[in-house]
Amino acid sequence: MREEVARFGPNRSIVAILHHAASGAAPGAPAVLLANAGIVHRVGPHRLYVKLARRLAAQGHTVLRLDVSGLGDSPAAIDVVPFDRSAVADLRSAMTFLENRLGVSRFVTAGICSGGKVAFDTALDDPRVVGVVPINSGLHLHSSTQPAALAGLARRVRARHYWRIALFSSFRRKSWRKALRRQVDVGDRASEMFRGLFPTWPVARGVSNEPRRRLDQLLQRGVRVLHVYSEGDEWLDYYRICARRLGVRNATAVRLEIVPAADHTFTRLWSQERLIGLVAEWLRLGGDARPASGSDSSSSSR
């Protein structure tokens, strides 16, 4: 398969790796853009983006792994635009580049952690995006205009996470063992857990409608959303809190997949394969994959 270095954006400063789609595999398939996972350069944690891109290219998708301004090999933008805005601008430049170069006009944006928020914000901003895959992403259902309320929400998310991990997760035994060995700050954890039982009022009020509004904006355009979370990831609790309050159900358009017994960056090899398989399958079905049953379709096996 053909891979090449691509440069675009202001002064051609954005560096990316372009994976050409395997010829004839899936004509008309949307191109996939992978946004940096946190501060990791375009290869992704454990080189996961390279594996994912090669799998999707073999399946017939053009894939672009890019370093947004200030990360990896792309120099920082010289204007004063905040990072989250410049990153969205970089993804939009990437779409324009692929449109001009290859004639692709439909895109799916994806990313792990903060890359998922960049992917989501880009989908909101640009009508060329037809699908978005936030992976272990947090706060992407909110804009960052209500810092006080978001701080309260983050506290509640952390508390829910600690309760879930200690009582209901695959890691509950490990979690208690770590507490007994004092590998974690038990006092701090306990305090977080009990404070989280009594959410502050701004959490309940201030941000309540925003996720619905942002999701609706995408759904009205027909954009498909695949959320993927690791069982061990704190942001799964963020998504659960938002989804429950707003009545976001697992459906064709907004889908949730959980990779059990996996961590934030998919360190275990089998969990990497599981993630790649989920994204590839969702794309293969055009984002129309229906949940197997119930309100959540969680992956149940390794």
Binding site for another protein (CB under 8 A): 3-5, 7, 15, 17, 37-43, 45-47, 50-51, 72-73, 75, 113-114, 165, 169-171, 174, 178, 183, 230-233, 261-269, 271-272, 302
Judged by CB, which is closer to another protein: 102, or 269? 269
What token pair was written down for 58? 């073999």
The torsion angles phi and psi of 64, rounded to 5 degrees, stand at -125, 120
On whether the CB atoms of residues 72 and 15 are closer than 8 A, the answer is yes
Torsion-angle region of 46 (φ positive above 0: left; ψ -120 to 50: alpha; else: beta): left
Strand partners, 6: 16
**Closer of 7 and 213 to another protein (Cβ):** 7
CB closer to another protein, 45 vs 202 = 45
Say if residues 215 and 225 touch (Cβ distance below 8 Å).
Answer: yes
Question: 41 or 284: whose CB is closer to another protein?
Answer: 41
What's the CA gap between 284 and 61, in Å, rounded?
A: 10
- The minimum distance between CB 44 and another protein, in angstroms, equals 8
Phi/psi zone of residue 265: left (φ > 0), alpha (ψ -120 to 50 degrees), beta? Answer: alpha
Q: Do residues 290 and 252 touch, judged by C-beta distance below 8 A? A: yes
Query: If DSSP codes are grouped into helix, strand and coil, which group holds residue 163?
Result: helix
Closer of 290 and 302 to another protein (Cβ): 302
Q: Residue 70 Cβ, how far from another protein at the closest point, in Å? A: 10
Q: What is the three-class DSSP state of 127? A: coil
CA distances from 160 to 199, 240, 242, 256 (A): 11, 10, 12, 18
Nearer to another protein, 186 or 269 (CB): 269
Output the smallest distance, CB 261 to another protein, in A: 4
Report residue 49 CA to chain centroid gap. 13
CB of 142 to another protein, least distance (A): 19
CA Rg, the chain, in Å? 19
* Closest separation in Å from C-beta 53 to another protein: 10
Beta bridge partners of 16: 6, 66
- Least distance from C-beta 196 to another protein, angstroms? 19
Which of 165/248 has CB closer to another protein? 165
Q: How far is the CB of 75 from another protein (least distance, A)?
A: 7
CA distance 188 to 179: 11
The residue among 13 and 250 lying less far from another protein, judged by its C-beta, is: 13
> Residue 210 or residue 231: which is nearer to another protein going by CB?
231
At residue 16, what is the residue type? Answer: A
The nearest distance, CB 163 to another protein, in angstroms, is 14
Question: Which residues neighbour 127 within 8 Å (Cβ) at sequence distance 6 or greater?
Answer: 221
Closest distance to another protein from the beta carbon of 161 (Å): 10
